[in-house]
Amino acid sequence: GNLALFSLSEDTAVGTQIYSLNGTDPEGQKVSYGLSFDPGAKEYFSVDPVSGNITLVEQLDREKHDSIDVHVSISDGRSQVVERVTIFVMDANDEKPEFQNMPAIINVLEVSYAKVKALWKNMDIIYLNPQSILFSMDRNSGVLRLKSGEMLDFEKTKTHFVTVIAKDGGGNFDGKEQFMSSSATLTINVIDVQDTPPSFIGTPYFGYVYEVSIPGSVIFIVEAKDGDVGNPNPIRYSFEEGDDGVFGINKTSGLITLLSHPINLKREIFNIKVKASEVSPEGRLMDYELTTLVIRVVDLNNNPPTFYGEKGPQNIFELTMYEHPPEGEILRGLRITVNDSDKGANAKFNLRLIGPGRMLRVVPQTVLNEAQVTILVEDSAAMDYEKHHFLTYKLLAVEIDTPERFSATADIVIHLLDTNDNAPKFSSDYYIARIPENSPGGSNVVSVTATDPDSGPWGDVQYSIYGSGADLFLIQPTTGIIYTQPWASLDAEVRSKYNFYVKAEDAEGKYSLAEVFVTVLDLNDHPPAFNDNFLETTMVIGAPVKIEAVDDDAEVPNNVIEYAIMKAEPDNNIFDINADTGEIMLKSYIKSMAIIQNITKQSDCTWSLVVQARDRGQPSFSTTAVIKIDITEATQLSGGPLGSFLMQSRNKPLQIVALLAGVICLMVIVTVIISTATFMRNKKSNRILPNRRVRRRQRNQPIWNIKNPFKKPENPGQKFRNVNYNNNVGNLVRHWSPPPPPCAPSLPPPPPPCFPGERQWVVPTVSAAVAAKPKKRPVTTRRDTVNNALVSELKMRLEQKSYTESLPGYLCRHHH
């Protein structure tokens, strides 16, 4: 390959290997390859001389260069062959369509159409329909037309803006299909044409002729304009009909005048057709428009309404009254009459009251000829002296049915007098004050302020205080300054918070309340104090000794105490102290008495420490205490190893807590095991047993005592054997004393007497029963109770008889 007839797309990326040169030498020598360009030409490619691989090194652009000439060479070192080849650059879709002659602005008549061209090199252009309801566009030719049935109207829209989009047919770019498009805005200016008739302005038209009018008086002026405002024609006016020869009109101005005296007019209403025609530049009449002018002949309304007072016509009325009168009250101090001397409709008018708010209302609102004017209170709350010292209203009378709409006005001025209608009001609902403790009596605490908008003595405010927390405070009645009692002594440690109420009251007893909160600020006025300034104690090595001091101040940092060892004898390097807790401990390197004796060179001594307790207040106070300490080794306490462990673990509370938790868990486990064993044993031995009754021996028989079977008997032959104390039947064998000789049956023996120190003998019996599920107890009647009693007595007699018969046999066997 020597690049002959090779083509390359313009969107090929720089650095791409595009070709491999291939050549041989007839003598079999190694060949090398080379590329060169014409002088001044841009070098688009490079070649590897050994492999012949050609690489693109510059970006291609077909729109600038559609072919590139290259000199390809091959050499064996001695001779070289050079060939000139042409590489064709293939087009890629990387350019947008381009419109010509932009911006596009065209002027068209109201019935025309427009055509727009788009150009792009050798590519098809597709026209998209513009976003307009009036226009349509041919997608291929680019002709813009009005849609069927649509027209351009200069009087509605003078300019149209149409957006046209040109889109190409698509092509390959960077290995994928790509479509390119561009848009342009076409401005269409509509040129007006004479297609709209003239139109009158201000219709409908009404004119009037009055009794005092004279010939030549102007009755009305009509006005019309050409509907084609882009290029209007002049207008000519004329009467079409209905003027009866008594009115005239100016042809160019539209001025209508009276030609005859009103007394000669035979009609009251004239309906005149007025014609407005366009005049062409040649003087020819063109389109025209008609309208109706209504002229009414009326009697002259020459008398406006007039307001009258007690002394004749008057336009200012004044009244003085207290604020907040009752709603609906009539302002009787105002005596106003209104009159219109015209007759009929000319004497009919409305009354209106114009002023601040809707405090007042006028009655009546419509008057014919004459009426007495009444002013009523509408909003009593708004008539407030504090807002308005006086009120000014306009009383307006306006004719209703007359064209002149004559009117008259009168001023109503109301001077308000103040009343005590407001209570004093504090500047705040509550006040917060702070005062240091130990402030001298009479010290100012806080100043409260209340205002009363009422005037005169009603606006004067008097202050007072009350409440459980007001005992130590006073207030100046006029200024509102709260201060402490002369004898008051404030102490934050005794009480730091006070609250009470302050009352602001006017001359008539109207008042308001506010709450005052006083905080007594703590001062550092108490030094720390030890419980005892001389202490004696014993310290076990490894366990600290704690001392404690108390500061009676109320707040931090005044009551925060720091501890320090000021002096220790006989040596200062033995002890440390925790500055926050006051725990005194030996230095960490002291583990035994031998170390202490080695430091002090004494076998036994008592240590004397001077400990200081200092608070953190400003100024700071301190106090000292002397502590005598005997140091001993840790020994086992009377509690054994546990006590020793607790002593050694005083500084390790977590170890103590872990030990206690282990002991508790062990006790719980043992308890569960014992309970489970007891339950299982009772469950295994729980069986149904026969019932036996307790039998009592006769009085003359010796008393039998049941002894503890776990105690070794003195005479085993005379004791019970295999005694069952769980009420369970086993191989129970009882040994009885020999019974007496048989005797006749007799009644059961009376109960034996009770002797002190002796226990009544009872024959041990065993009883058991299956416990059934408890049922609801039946209702027992009196008859059932009697029957149960008889049955019980019968059972007792039978048991006594059986006992009497069987007792001698038992006694005999026991004797043998």
Given this model, what pLDDT does residue 734 score? 40
Interval 189-210 mean pLDDT: 81
pLDDT tens column, 281-292: 787 888 888 899
**551 occurs within a structural domain:** yes
| CA–CA separation, 372 and 62 (whole Å) | 102
Query: In this model, does residue 687 exceed pLDDT 80?
Result: no
What pLDDT score was predicted for residue 518?
A: 93
**Distance (Å, rounded) from C-alpha 560 to C-alpha 548?**
12
- What pLDDT shows up at residue 102? 73
Report yes or no on 246 lying in a domain: yes
**Least confidently predicted of 506-515, 665-674, 697-706, 716-725:** 716-725
Number of helices and strands (H, E) in the chain? 4, 55
Q: Which residues pair with 161 in a beta bridge?
A: 187
User: ω into residue 557 within 30 of 0, thus cis?
Assistant: yes
733: Cα separation from own chain's centroid: 88
Per residue, the 3-state secondary structure of 160-215, as one string, reads EEEEEEEECCCEEECCEEECCEEEEEEEEEEECCCCCCCEECCCCEEEEEECCCCC
Distance CA 451, CA 286 (A): 82
Q: Which residue has the higher pLDDT, 57 or 718?
A: 57
Q: How many domains does the chain have?
A: 6
Out of 250, 279, 298, a domain closes at 298
Do 393 and 491 share a domain, yes or no? no
On whether the CB atoms of residues 120 and 166 are closer than 8 A, the answer is yes
Task: Work out whether strand 135-137 and strand 176-178 pair parallel, antiparallel, or are unpaired.
Answer: unpaired
Question: What is the model's pLDDT at position 565?
Answer: 87
Boundaries of domain holding 15: 7-90
Enumerate the H helices of 305-375 as residue ranges. Answer: none
Strands 583-586, 545-546: parallel, antiparallel or unpaired by DSSP? antiparallel
477 shares its domain with 389: no
- Return the top range by mean pLDDT from 199-203, 274-278, 465-469, 501-505: 501-505
235-244, 449-458, 802-811 — which one is most confidently predicted on average? Answer: 449-458
- Domain termination residue (choose one: 59, 90, 121): 90
- Asked whether the beta carbons of 528 and 490 are under 8 A apart, the reply is no
406 and 311: one domain?
A: yes
Within a domain: 146: yes
For residue 678, being part of any structural domain is answered with no
Specify whether 620 is located in the same domain as 548. yes
Are 512 and 543 in the same domain?
A: no
Same domain, 184 and 222: no
Tell me, yes or no, whether 409 and 430 share the same domain: no
Cβ proximity of 364 and 370 under 8 Å: no
pLDDT at position 728: 37
Residues 207, 166, single domain; the answer is no
- Distance between CA 335 and CA 357 in Å, rounded? 23
- Residue 347 class from Cβ within 10 Å (0-12 exposed, 13-18 middle, 19+ buried)? buried
Averaged pLDDT for residues 102-131? 52
CA distances to 25, 78, 505, 648, 688 from 29, rounded to whole Å, are 6, 10, 127, 101, 124
At 669, the pLDDT band (50, 70, 90 cuts) reads very high
DSSP for 476-503, please give it.
-TTT-EEEE-TT----TTT--EEEEEEE
Q: What is the CATH number of the domain that holds 350?
A: 2.60.40.60
Asked whether residue 337 falls in the same domain as residue 399, the answer is yes
Does residue 186 sit in the same domain as residue 261?
A: no
Examine residue 704 and state whether it is found in any structural domain, yes or no: no
Please report where in the chains the tokens 């009420």 appear, as a residue: 727
Going by pLDDT thresholds of 50, 70 and 90, the confidence category of residue 709 is very low
Among 298, 321, 341, the domain-final residue is 298
The alpha carbon of residue 726 and the mean position of all alpha carbons in its chain are separated, in whole angstroms, by 73
Confidence of residue 665 (pLDDT cuts 50, 70, 90): very high
| Percent of the chain with pLDDT strictly greater than 90 | 16
Share of residues in the chain with pLDDT > 70 (%): 76
Handedness of CA 331, 332, 333, 337 (dihedral sign): positive
For residue 236, count other CB atoms closer than 10 A to its CB. Answer: 18
Q: Which residues of 502-518 are buried (b: 16+ CB within 10 A; e: fewer)?
A: bbbbbeeebbbbbebeb
Q: What's the pLDDT at 715?
A: 44
Whether residue 605 is contained in a domain is answered as yes
Residue 599, SS3?
A: helix
CA dihedral over 343, 344, 345, 351, signed as positive or negative: positive
- Chain Cα centroid distance, residue 50: 77
497 with 444, same domain?
Answer: yes
Asked whether residue 535 is domain-assigned, the answer is yes
Q: Which two tokens mark 12?
A: 């090929």
Q: What gap in Å lies between CA 384 and CA 419, rounded to an integer?
A: 9
Domain assignment of residue 669, yes or no: no
533/621 same-domain check: yes
